[in-house]
Amino acid sequence: MLELYPGVLANLLMLVGLLLLASSDIGKSKASKLVIACLFAFVNVKYLQWRLDETLPAYELSFQSMWMWFFFVTEALAAIALNWHFFIMVAPTNRSPEADQWEKILKSSDNLDAVDVMIPTVNEPLAMLEKTIQGALNLDYPKVNVWVLDDGNREFLKDYCNGIGVNYIAREENIHYKAGNLNNALTLTQAPIICVVDADFVLEPNFLWRTVGLLNDAGIGLVQTPQVFSNPDAIQHNLGGSHAWPESQCAFSDVIQSGRDRWDNAFCYGTSFVVKRECLDAIGGFAKDSVTEDLLTSYVLHGAGYKTRFLNEPLSKGNATQDIAEYIRQRGRWCIGTIQCLFADRGLLRSRSLSLVDRLFLLDPIVYHFGTIWTLLLLVSPMMYWWFGIAPFHSDFGHLLIVLAPRMLLVTFGFYWLSQKKTIPIVSEVGRVVGVFHLTSSIIKALLNPYKQTFRSTIKHTEGADNIIYWQILLPLLGLALLTVLGVIARYLNLLDNDILWRTDFGLMVTLTIYVLWLLYLSCLVCVQRKITSSDDAVYVGSVRKTAKTLIKRMFA
């Protein structure tokens, strides 16, 4: 293995070379990105080979052996998913020129298709809904019908819609969540194009001119635009990073979706999209077998022979979830819904019409959510070491310098660069760590019984009280940190056998312990909910320097 990692100096020189290349014009070409993505993937693969060949014991039915092998399997899945995303991000699409052409054609046409704009809602306040409804009424398109689909069956909302001349639909039975709400509206409307916008998003006036034309291709069933948020999410807000790094979905919306679009596999995510009614009719409406009806509907459309398109233009703006409890609850619902796509009748395992490429791209978000298990094992591993003397793998401090650290630096830089500075080191990890216990519970529940779960819509506050501590989220994180620290203290005070102080993996585990405690500390800070104000704004490109400065300030403030 040493011939692959000749030393710290060589790895540092390689990293410096990549930094220089990435900052040059040469590094911006697709060919250069592909070459460097291959390099990152090679480093990842060789790392996994080293882990498999040199750091694992022979498998046996002992706790230590099973712990090490389970740790490796989950780590390998996370590394494979990382490699997959490296290649997806190499060549994102740009469909704006195509949208320009279609907009000119539409504006010169006397026979435009009518559009039903549907606004599904259940618990959003009127102040939020008013902006969404007004945005739909302000669309600069001649044939628009606006429909408010109220699963809350609220009399005040019905009166409001009647007062401004907007169509209002309520259901007697709120089954199948959002998919059921939309499907009910399909039976009561008739325009050939459906536009769906969530109750906390506002469409730009030219939204339909930019998107409807792309549906003229007979093979295209749905056109999705990015989710753009006008305010910071809970991680940004509670760590004070709204001007230092983008919100957590920014890299996915701006880069990964465009990369998936290169392979005809961008998927719908529930708002700010247009879809042909005839395509929905062909598949029986929006898919009801998952609470992430948007993801599953995309692949049911694929199975029926229709493609999705992604137009990467900021044609709407919405509200990110700033309350950390709601943020984690929302991610938990996404997690369960994505796993439901694994078992659904027309999902990954049971569909007979999906292509191999479609299956691989549908597997991607599923594997991403399973990566939460790897995060939990990483967080628990220092505690396991100090209390029970069981390391996650056999290694030493020297390999930390010539294998682990260079690999971590390279892949972290790779994702930061290929995501166009929208994925910031440490911050992206905190976003997963803070909800790791809740999300792991969601995974287990979904695997044991995917269809016996209850949900409610995410509440997106516009204002909130100052300094609410969410103890139910904080205590498990704080407890794990305290257990880890107490384990270290117990070893040094000889309360436990201190033979691990002389083991070759001691330096490695000290380093890992410091890293994990830092992540846990930052995650605990996120659990202190800061006052939510409607005047906050956010950035869409990150800065490592500003992020480091912000985190240091927040840690000691």
Catalytic center residues: 151, 294
Residue-wise over 111-137: b if at least 16 C-beta within 10 A, else e?
ebbebbbbbbbbebeeebbeebbebbe
Among the residues of 146-276, which ranges form H helices? 155-164, 177-186, 207-211, 234-239, 250-251, 257-261
Q: Please give the sequence-ordered ranges of beta strands (E in DSSP) within 398-539, or none if there are none.
A: 468-469, 528-529
Residue 439, SS3? helix
Residues 201/128, Cβ–Cβ less than 8 Å: no
**CA angle at residue 170 from 221 to 455, to 5 degrees?**
75
Measured distance CA(415)–CA(22) in Å, rounded? 12
DSSP annotation of 229 reads: B
Q: Which residue is it, tokens 């992430």?
A: 292
Give Cα separations from 79 to 41, 174, 201 (angstroms): 9, 41, 35
Alpha-carbon torsion 391, 395, 401, 404, what sign?
negative
Measured distance CA(331)–CA(525) in Å, rounded? 19
Measured distance CA(253)–CA(251) in Å, rounded? 6
- Element of type H or E holding 316: strand 316-318
